[in-house]
Structure 1
Amino acid sequence: MARGFAVTDDRIRIIIKEFHKSMKVGLEHDNKDALPMIPTFVNRRPTGKETGSFLALDLGGTNLRVCQVSLNGDTTYQLLQQKFTITPEAKESRLWDFVAECVAVFLEEHDLHPPQGRRVIPCGYTFSFPIFQTGISTGNLSMWNKGFSVPNSVGRDVVNLTQSAFQRHHVPVEIVAVVNDTVGTLMTSAYSFPDTQMGIIFGTGTNAAYWERLDNIGKWAGDRLGEMVVNLEWGAFDNTALVLPYTMHDNKLNRKSSNHGLQVYEKMISGLFLGEVARNAILALVDQRLIFCGRSSEILNKSYTFDTAYMSEIVSDDSPDLSATKTVLESTLDLPPTTLIDRKAVKNVCNMIGTRSVRLSAAAMCAVLLSRPELLKSSVSVGIDGSMYQFYPDFEKNLYDVSRTFLGKDFVDNRLALRLAKDGSGVGAAIVAMTVDNDRKPVT
């Protein structure tokens, strides 16, 4: 089992090489077998001197955040926000009305109204799912992931779908910019740290965006001068698993998922799926009667009951008898009494899958940074958000450790800064909305 989950340095070199090939093809033209490399129409770096208050929506895999962002003009900002847990019903059917209802609650509770002389509040919209953009305020949904399956949405403009719900619920808000969550994270980090070249989400899902030279984006039909943020949608890398360390446990998860055969890389990295891969691997050991005397539990037998948060508890359990692991297995998952050997085996499984996740994450980050080698001569910040980065044990440390091998010790130790852009996707949407709103006539 250990060999199957291993990500050696040689494997990472192969992944980086294939990643570069896929990036290059995706920048030239749309190809279902390559990374999407989506131009975002965001082509202005923040200066940190921007001021004003703007509304932002951040629709992620687990929560909807509604925010009022006040930019202070000195690289700092204030954030007023409210978080709403996305209901199973919203994920499957009435998402757009759910968003409108939550925004209405936020506006009412915080007594927010359109600016003087305007009928609507301008808003930035962070949409954390793959979209094909034809403009800064339009984005057609390419596919659902993260467990969403709202019908009659794929191929349609998510801004229009949301705006229509606002009108149905009489919400005085106009979406002026739509960005991916990674773009928002990048822009938030760049507001405080101008050397930010990349934004990454390591959370429920995973993805990244980075600054690319326009003359490298072959499929871009506009001006070739300057730079633009490109949304990689890197969860779609190597869906055929030609170079990824893909196991039978991944295949079992993939086969049962709503987007079978898609987002394979994401399913090996992100928080939504790691626990399920671990559950599959643990049950394989049970079936071989190697742990728990071959017995499982009703809870463990159900899909997605072994949460990735349990992995965090288990891998950080350094007690002599692995007491925290015992609690997870026996109290939370209702397994029969376990032995120390059982608990060590489960901890080893979690360690293998967690280590694979962070090494694959580092491989992708290094591949993107290496695609613009001229930037590595100066200081580089990478804005990162997400629960895996924030809470999974030693995730950040291991990102740095792997990066030293592939980006060079001198660069990583002296010029690379991984920066937590906490709640960054919402702030970044507000920054982009401010830029767009300043360029257009007020809506009266």
Structure 2
Amino acid sequence: MPSIPLTLENFEEIANCSESQKSAIDEISKGFEVNKTKFNEIVNHFRNEMKKGLEMRGQTVAMVPSYVTGVPTGKEVGTFLALDLGGTNLRVCLIKFESEGNMSIKQQKYTISETYKTGEARQLFDFLANCIDKFLAELDETDYKGSSRKGGKLNLGFTFSFPVEQTAIDKGTLISWTKGFTCVNAVGKDVVFMLQEALNRKEVPVKVAALVNDTVGTLLAHAYKYPNTLLGVILGTGTNCAYFEKISNIKKLQSSSNAEHMIINLEWGAFDNEKKVLPITMFDNKLDRESNNPRLQIFEKLVSGMYLGEITRNILLNLIDRELIFDGISSKDLNTHYSVETAYLSTIESDDTDTLENARKILEEELNIPSTTLTDRQIVKRVCQIVGLRSAILSSAALSAIITQCNVIKTGCDIGIDGSLFEFYPSFEARIKSAFREHFGTNADNFKLGLARDGSGVGAALAAMLTTAK
């Protein structure tokens, strides 16, 4: 049975490649390939894991209910706030929805100091409230047109990119801090309640109407412009997906709803933590072993931009140890964990110069390899292609499982995707589509992939709008 990679593109020949080099590259390629049988196996296992997650809590693919049941039509109008907390910076946005899928945004970023990241939770949430108050104070009065600012409170959507157990659209208990945050007296508490308390203490006229994560926001933001949107996806430094599921299929849902659909946040990075079906190589196992979360987030470690460079580095070191590239000589930089950035892979893959000059600059000037031959550079390019190709095909397999679950193979849907991999990595979108064609045949044309920027802002505001419109 032919491998899907062979149908996607014909990789160029490697000049003056020795038999031992060719044998090594073929061996590595075989470990990364996804043939049709393997692709179907991944799709079927993914669907089974989705089903388990919809039925019971505590499953590998968590299938977290978002409690967002509305669907934007693109005709909504109004002015709403969004607050995006997820890392080094805090972002406050005022978003005006102007119908026909149009909108205008005013925003401001604020740096979060280490004191707020590691101190008392109350101090952090007071800081958030102060930033919102400062942002509002700097706006012109005309900015509030179409909002409830005068005579009431502005409604706010809160994008909170940390693990939470959500029990309602405006209730979510913090499970644990990540990304360098260690605030005390926050874990186990409702983050919406803490933010609202801080706003009330500061007498800031804002109501926290909705809590969302970035995938839910991406889905809503894309749906505002393209109402046929069914999935929102993050394919960047990390990866995740959200989609509209029939509420009747969410067996574990305890609250009742008159709506037919609810957005589910899959948390698909944990798919196949058990390592049953994914094409995992010794290079992936090395990365996993040396990570700060071994045997967790396995799918994310094969797909997301955070890890592709490290997988590539592991392969290059293996080839160096076998004296198959660079005359067997490495460098201090290449020997350093995560020194190979995914942006390097993008540059090398897209290098179509005769001498692969851009690849040479990265290898010799950024990673300080003493010298490289054209054959060396061609082998490195092939390694990048192998790693990048598998990422796109596995993304396509996961998307194929969700599309099949939603029974839209013939009717089609729009898919909103945010993230640097999808936006900048060469051929990433084309490879997803090619794998779709291998799997769905002519029905693959029914699925429209589109770049969906700023879901964490626009999507959060839309969630607030949909909640308050009920």
Task: Give TM-score, length-normalised by structure 1.
Answer: 0.88
Q: Tell me which of 363, 372, 378 is aligned to 1:338.
A: 372
Deviation digits for residues 314-373 of structure 1 (CA, Å, limit 9, x no counterpart) = 100111111001111111222212221221221111111100100000000010000122
How do 1:286-297 residues align onto structure 2 when only pairs under 5 Å count? 286-297=320-331
Q: Tell me which of 437, 448, 456 is aligned to 1:417.
A: 448
Deviation digits for residues 93-139 of structure 1 (CA, Å, limit 9, x no counterpart) = 79946756765664455468881123x54211123344221111122
Map of 1:15 onto structure 2: 42
Question: Does 329-338 or 36-45 show the bigger shift?
Answer: 329-338
SS of corresponding position for 1:211: strand
Shift of 1:64: 4.4
How do 1:3-152 residues align onto structure 2 when only pairs under 5 Å count? 3-32=30-59, 34-60=60-86, 64-83=90-109, 96=124, 103=132, 106-107=135-136, 110=139, 115-118=149-152, 121-143=154-176, 147-148=179-180, 150=182, 152=184
The 3 A distance-change label for structure 1 pair 301 and 28 is: same
Structure-2 separation of matches of 1:302 and 1:89? 30
**Structure 2: tracts of 5 or more residues without a match:** 1-27
Indicate if the aligned counterparts of 1:215 and 1:224 stay in contact, CA closer than 8 A.
Answer: no
Indicate if the aligned counterparts of 1:45 and 1:187 stay in contact, CA closer than 8 A.
Answer: yes
- The structure with the larger Rg is 2
Map of 1:442 onto structure 2: none
Aligned residue identity for 1:197? L
Structure-2 separation of matches of 1:433 and 1:75? 17
Map of 1:204 onto structure 2: 237
SS of corresponding position for 2:409: helix
Question: Does 204-213 or 215-224 show the bigger shift?
Answer: 215-224
The 3 A distance-change label for structure 1 pair 69 and 330 is: same
Indicate if the aligned counterparts of 1:57 and 1:65 stay in contact, CA closer than 8 A.
Answer: yes
Shift of 1:377: 3.0
Aligned residue identity for 2:447? L
Deviation digits for residues 149-169 of structure 1 (CA, Å, limit 9, x no counterpart) = 535555443334555666788
The 3 A distance-change label for structure 1 pair 90 and 345 is: farther
Structure-1 separation of matches of 2:271 and 2:421? 19
Question: Does 196-205 or 157-166 show the bigger shift?
Answer: 157-166
SS of corresponding position for 1:417: strand
SS of corresponding position for 2:234: strand
The 3 A distance-change label for structure 1 pair 399 and 275 is: same
Map of 2:4 onto structure 1: none
Residues 1:367 and 2:393 aligned together: no
Give the % identical residues: 46
SS of corresponding position for 1:344: helix
The 3 A distance-change label for structure 1 pair 89 and 419 is: farther
Structure-2 separation of matches of 1:6 and 1:230? 30
Structure-1 separation of matches of 2:201 and 2:339? 37
Indicate if the aligned counterparts of 1:25 and 1:31 stay in contact, CA closer than 8 A.
Answer: no
Indicate if the aligned counterparts of 2:221 and 2:452 stay in contact, CA closer than 8 A.
Answer: yes
Residues 1:405 and 2:438 aligned together: yes
Shift of 1:284: 2.1
Map of 1:219 onto structure 2: 252
Aligned residue identity for 1:80? K
Aligned residue identity for 1:392? Y
**Structure 1: tracts of 5 or more residues without a match:** 440-444
Residues 1:326 and 2:360 aligned together: yes
Indicate if the aligned counterparts of 2:229 and 2:416 stay in contact, CA closer than 8 A.
Answer: yes
How do 1:379-390 residues align onto structure 2 when only pairs under 5 Å count? 379-390=412-423
The 3 A distance-change label for structure 1 pair 148 and 22 is: farther
Shift of 1:295: 2.3
Task: Give TM-score, length-normalised by structure 2.
Answer: 0.84
The 3 A distance-change label for structure 1 pair 304 and 371 is: same
The 3 A distance-change label for structure 1 pair 191 and 184 is: same
SS of corresponding position for 2:241: strand
Shift of 1:298: 2.2
The 3 A distance-change label for structure 1 pair 151 and 273 is: farther
How do 1:159-198 residues align onto structure 2 when only pairs under 5 Å count? 159-160=192-193, 162-163=195-196, 173-198=206-231
SS of corresponding position for 1:377: coil
Question: Does 306-315 or 3-12 show the bigger shift?
Answer: 3-12
Aligned residue identity for 1:18? H
Indicate if the aligned counterparts of 2:234 and 2:417 stay in contact, CA closer than 8 A.
Answer: yes
SS of corresponding position for 1:116: coil
Shift of 1:237: 0.5
SS of corresponding position for 1:253: helix
The 3 A distance-change label for structure 1 pair 185 and 298 is: same
Indicate if the aligned counterparts of 2:303 and 2:394 stay in contact, CA closer than 8 A.
Answer: yes
SS of corresponding position for 1:124: strand
